[in-house]
């Protein structure tokens, strides 16, 4: 199955996100990865539902919103109304993971859980049936341009084995430090969606990387 590529807008030109969306779409991106940060779960503050809403009509891309926010259950409705397609919440950000995932599904969106590098896969044990995607953070959330943490490779392999063993239809998205050098190992470990921000938006030949990653 071909790998899907989800460029992260965090490293894009925030003064012209509409044009940046067009650029990644023209270069073969499958998804647009929106990094939502609230200044509380992570120190940075980025975008919210009002920006997602304004971007929706500017692209046909699948909009993959990564909520690095506390109490994500309070933000599901506004993102659903904004027109995103998938909402990924951080397992560490809520005491009510099951309820939050059910709420995402009730709003007709795909549901994902993101695991920080130190978070064990066991947190998914009782919510597998609710998942469309697991996001394996390969950096500590809050910024682009960080180095890939190789310790998450066995975690990706384990999740891929669980998805196979339980016969689930769950995407495995890897996010953080993905580039030309790290991607082959990540895909071999079982990733089906690659998020890349700085490798695409902050590199001279970044746009051509999208096609290269899709062919891994
Ligand atoms: C980090 C974000 C990532 C980040 C990836 O908190 O969740 O999506 O933008 O950026 P790169 O690819 O530059 O590591
Ligand atoms: Zn992200």
CA of 178 to the centre of ligand 1 (A): 8
The catalytic residues are 35, 175
Query: Which ligand 1 atom is at minimum distance from the Cα of 66?
Result: 7
Q: At what angle do helices 17-26 and 206-214 cross, to 10 degrees?
A: 40
Give the position of tokens 């891994």.
216
What local confidence, expressed as pLDDT, does residue 2 receive?
85
Query: If you take atom 4 of ligand 1, which residue's CA is the nearest one?
Result: 144
What local confidence, expressed as pLDDT, does residue 44 receive?
98
- Which candidate, 213, 142, 146, places its Cα nearest to that of 177? 146
What local confidence, expressed as pLDDT, does residue 1 receive?
64
pLDDT per residue as tens, the chain (216 positions): 689 999 999 999 999 999 999 999 999 999 999 999 999 999 999 999 999 999 999 999 999 999 999 999 999 999 999 999 999 999 999 999 999 999 999 999 999 999 999 999 999 999 999 999 999 999 999 999 999 999 999 999 999 999 999 999 999 999 999 999 999 999 999 999 999 999 999 999 999 999 999 999
Query: If you take atom 9 of ligand 1, which residue's CA is the nearest one?
Result: 144
Query: Do the beta carbons of residue 155 and residue 136 sit within 8 Å?
Result: yes
What is the secondary structure of the chain as a DSSP string? -PPEEEEBGGGS-GGGHHHHHHHHHHTT-SEEEEEEEBSSSSS-B---HHHHHHHGGG--SEEEEEEE-SSGGGSHHHHHHHT-SEEEEEGGG-S-HHHHHHHHHHTT-EEEEEE-TTS-GGGGTTTGGG-SEEEEESS-SS-SSPPP-GGGHHHHHHHHHHHHHTT---EEEEESS-STTTHHHHHHHT-SEEEESHHHHSSTTHHHHHHHHHT-
Structure tokens, 20? 């940046």
Closest ligand relative to 86 C-alpha: 2
């Amino acid at each position: 199955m071909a790998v899907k590529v989800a460029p992260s807008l965090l490293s894009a030109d925030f003064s012209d996100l509409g044009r940046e969306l067009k650029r990644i779409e023209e270069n073969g991106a499958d998804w647009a990865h929106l990094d939502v940060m609230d200044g509380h779960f992570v120190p940075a503050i980025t975008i919210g539902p009002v920006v997602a809403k304004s971007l929706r009509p500017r692209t046909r891309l699948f909009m993959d919103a990564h909520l690095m926010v506390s109490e994500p259950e309070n933000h599901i409705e506004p993102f659903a109304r904004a027109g995103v397609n998938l909402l990924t919440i951080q397992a560490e950000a809520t005491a009510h993971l099951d309820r939050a995932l059910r709420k995402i599904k009730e709003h007709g969106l795909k549901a994902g859980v993101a695991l920080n590098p130190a978070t064990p896969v066991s947190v998914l044990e009782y919510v597998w049936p609710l998942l469309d995607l697991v996001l394996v953070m390969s950096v500590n959330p809050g910024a682009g341009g960080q180095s890939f943490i190789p310790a998450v490779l066995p975690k990706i392999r384990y999740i891929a084995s669980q998805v196979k063993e339980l016969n689930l239809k769950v995407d495995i998205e890897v996010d953080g430090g993905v580039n030309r050098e790290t991607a082959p190992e990540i895909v071999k470990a079982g990733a089906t969606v690659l998020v890349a921000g700085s490798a695409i938006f902050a590199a001279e030949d970044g746009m051509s990387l999208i096609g290269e990653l899709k062919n891994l």
